[in-house]
Amino acid sequence: MNRLKGKKALITGATAGIGKAIAHQLADLGVHLILTGRRSERLVELKSEIESSYGVQVQTLHFDIRSNKEVEDALSEVDLESVDLLINNAGLAAGVDPVHKADLADWEQMIDTNIKGLLYISRLITPVMAAKKSGHVLNLGSIAGHEAYPGGVVYTATKHAVTAINKAMKMDLHGTNVRVSMISPGLVNTEFSTIRFKGDSHRADSVYAGIDPLVADDIAEIAVFILNRPAHVDIMDVVVFPTAQSAATMVFRG
């Protein structure tokens, strides 16, 4: 049963990977979209691709989520009342250096995007959802929000923060009918690792070598399942691994 047709979703970080896959799968169900990201050409391409394939309305917003001023300016162009679904997808890992060697700029980029950016958007959308007593926030977490691992001192900290934000947001919105959910994936083969390794695609490929990793569409299917539940069902967190992974650092390469 499609309960999503005619709704509107705002997806952050929609130009690639999981965000883009969620955009396609929601549009396929008749959901209108507001797609946000930093790469304006990719947003324009995605808008025309989705509008022509699915016949839904797509608005694009081009801004850097790390700047609250940019977020506020961009969202002033949006009818916030019309947003039914907020998909907090924007996030990244930068570098794998240990605490005593890491680059501060990497830490700031992850903290500013994965935690502060998510909060900036949520701060603007959730009051409107609470006032109209409907809406659904889906946060993209990670297995790194449940486990720490070496080389991930700040990335895992930011994803633990998302886990905490997800739980506290649910409690803050208690009694408003607004649903709050999270997906916590393990290894998903997107450009995530290429970004983490700063463009070293050989190293990025080695993360997924010898296993059948998750792909963006696997996560998008779970997102659609969560968002399409009846109004009384709120799935708080789905932890999902590829079959060959059993913990953040435990991968069976056959």
Sites for ligand 8X3 among residues 136-175 (CB under 6 A):
142-144
Say whether 149 is catalytic.
no
Residue 6 — left, alpha, or beta (φ > 0 → left; ψ -120 to 50 → alpha)? left
Rounded to whole angstroms, how far apart are CA atoms 214 and 33?
A: 25
Q: Quick check: helix, strand or coil at residue 148?
A: coil
DSSP 8-state secondary structure symbol assigned to residue 112: I
Rounded to whole angstroms, how far apart are CA atoms 143 and 151?
A: 14
| Contact flag: residue 248 with ligand 8X3 (CB under 6 A) | yes
DSSP of 49-79, one letter per residue? HHHHHH---EEEEE--TT-HHHHHHHHTTS-
Which lies closer to ligand 8X3 via its Cβ, residue 11 or residue 187?
A: 187
Sites for ligand 8X3 among residues 103-142 (CB under 6 A):
142
Kindly state the smallest distance separating residue 72's Cβ from ligand 8X3, in Å: 28
Which lies closer to ligand 8X3 via its Cβ, residue 53 or residue 246?
A: 246
Count of residues in contact with ligand 8X3, rule CB under 6 A: 6
Kindly state the smallest distance separating residue 102's Cβ from ligand 8X3, in Å: 16
When binding is defined by CB under 6 A, the residue of 178, 187, 224, 226 that contacts ligand 8X3 is: 187
Which are the contacts of 243, defined by CB distance < 8 A and separation ≥ 6? 212
Rounded to whole angstroms, how far apart are CA atoms 156 and 166?
A: 15
Which lies closer to ligand 8X3 via its Cβ, residue 135 or residue 186?
A: 186
| Contact flag: residue 186 with ligand 8X3 (CB under 6 A) | yes
| Contact flag: residue 96 with ligand 8X3 (CB under 6 A) | no
Alpha carbon distances (Å) from 161 to 136, 142, 144, 145: 19, 11, 10, 7
Which lies closer to ligand 8X3 via its Cβ, residue 56 or residue 187?
A: 187
Which lies closer to ligand 8X3 via its Cβ, residue 126 or residue 166?
A: 166
Kindly state the smallest distance separating residue 142's Cβ from ligand 8X3, in Å: 3
Kindly state the smallest distance separating residue 57's Cβ from ligand 8X3, in Å: 31
Catalytic residue among 54, 120, 149, 155: 155
CB 220 within 8 A of CB 25: yes
Closest CA to 252 of 212, 218, 217, 219: 212
Residue numbers annotated as active site: 155
Residues that bind ligand 8X3 (CB under 6 A): 142-144, 186-187, 248
